[in-house]
Amino acid sequence: MVGPLEQALLAAMIFVIMLGMGASLTPRDFYLALRRPYGLGIGVFTQFGFMPLIGFLMTLAFALPEPVAIGLLIVSCMPGGTTSNIFTYFSKGNLALSVLMTVTSTIFGVVLIPIVLLVYASALDLTIPRENIIATLVILLVPVAVGMILRRLNANAGAVTEFFGSVLALVFIAFIAISWIPRNWQFLMTTAPSTYFVAIMLGVFGIALGYLFARSIRLHPRNARTVALETGIQNAPLAIAIIVLTFPSDQQQPIMAVGALYSLFIVITSTLVTLIFRRANTAAEQKITDSLL
């Protein structure tokens, strides 16, 4: 469970993360994106098409208990996380596209997340309080708008806010490791292996499907790497915030299990994928250099 102090810290971190997300954008970015919406459309499609479907299929395949299934569905229906921007940068992907895809999926998520949750929760006969989720999502758009205004008023302040927002997304994972996991250690020791499996493989399957889909429609490898990471890396802090603000404290522990485990393992998965992408990119560059000699 999450105590009052942790809830306050979580709310503050989510606010700064969303503020940083907004500070990474200007109205011109949206204008340029709308002129060439192909990449953004693919991102929204993979984010809200592949990921919830993966969560749904794994729920069926492993016959997960209802609380774990709810947690998995919520995480799989989340928009892209700011952590994807960091890994896109290090994997030599298209950082501008990554940032735009993250924010666009967050904005579209206000409408799409409740719809997708309704569809899959109904199919699984699960009860999820969608009204609370919608209210939380709308509230969280406020810091995004504030961040955009801050960037508009002062570019330097906006850049600093963007940096801290991205870094805090990683600090959040440390927060989970230091705070939630030790107090729930006994619960995690008795958690079924299937819960660990779905928490890990949600990101693995998402990155793999995102990349294969992007390459199948002949996107440039740089953009394909971006779509892959944007697809598989969910906004886990947002998922956990929604769970904390939506469900009673005595129900939160098993529902949060997937989100907490996903937060930890997605960093490991994304690091390995980034190393693979960098190695492939280096090999491609070497091949081009050799052909010019």
Range of the domain at 213: 4-281
The single-letter DSSP state of residue 195 is H
189: domain CATH number?
Answer: 1.20.1530.20
Q: Which of 286, 268, 146 is nearest to 196 (CA)?
A: 268
Q: Which of 61, 80, 184, 72 is nearest to 128 (CA)?
A: 72
Q: Is residue 292 part of a domain?
A: no
pLDDT score, position 190: 83
Rounded to an integer, the average pLDDT of 143-169 is 77
Q: To 10 degrees, the CA torsion angle through 156, 159, 161, 165?
A: -170
pLDDT score, position 73: 94
pLDDT score, position 290: 45
Q: Is residue 286 part of a domain?
A: no
Asked whether the predicted pLDDT for residue 149 surpasses 90, the reply is no
Question: pLDDT tens digit string along 214-269?
Answer: 999 888 888 899 999 999 999 888 888 888 878 877 777 788 889 888 988 998 99
What Å distances lie between residue 261 and 27, 61, 83, 248, 257, CA to CA? 36, 19, 16, 20, 6
pLDDT score, position 14: 74
Q: Is residue 287 part of a domain?
A: no
Structure tokens at 51: 């990921």
* Main-chain phi, psi angles of 65, to 5 degrees: -60, 155
Q: Is residue 290 part of a domain?
A: no
* Separation between Cα atoms, residue 116 and residue 130, nearest integer Å: 10
* Separation between Cα atoms, residue 224 and residue 290, nearest integer Å: 24
Q: Which of 95, 111, 82 is nearest to 234 (CA)?
A: 82
- Number of domains present in the structure of the chain: 1
Q: Is residue 110 part of a domain?
A: yes
Query: Cβ–Cβ contacts within 10 Å for residue 170, how many?
Result: 14
Instruction: Out of 125-139, 144-158, 229-243, give the one with best mean pLDDT.
Output: 229-243
The single-letter DSSP state of residue 51 is H
Question: pLDDT tens digit string along 62-80?
Answer: 989 999 999 999 999 998 8
Q: Is residue 18 part of a domain?
A: yes
pLDDT score, position 109: 83
73 Cβ neighbours under 8 A, 6+ residues apart: 52, 55, 56, 59, 117, 120, 121, 124, 126, 128
* Separation between Cα atoms, residue 47 and residue 109, nearest integer Å: 10
Question: Which has more pLDDT, 64 or 9?
Answer: 64
Q: Is residue 219 part of a domain?
A: yes
240 contacts 51 by C-beta, under 8 angstroms: no
Q: Is residue 114 part of a domain?
A: yes
Q: To 10 degrees, the CA torsion angle through 85, 157, 35, 47?
A: 30
Asked whether the predicted pLDDT for residue 274 surpasses 90, the reply is yes
Asked whether the predicted pLDDT for residue 289 surpasses 50, the reply is no
Amino acid, res. 152: R
* Separation between Cα atoms, residue 90 and residue 84, nearest integer Å: 10
* Separation between Cα atoms, residue 293 and residue 153, nearest integer Å: 49
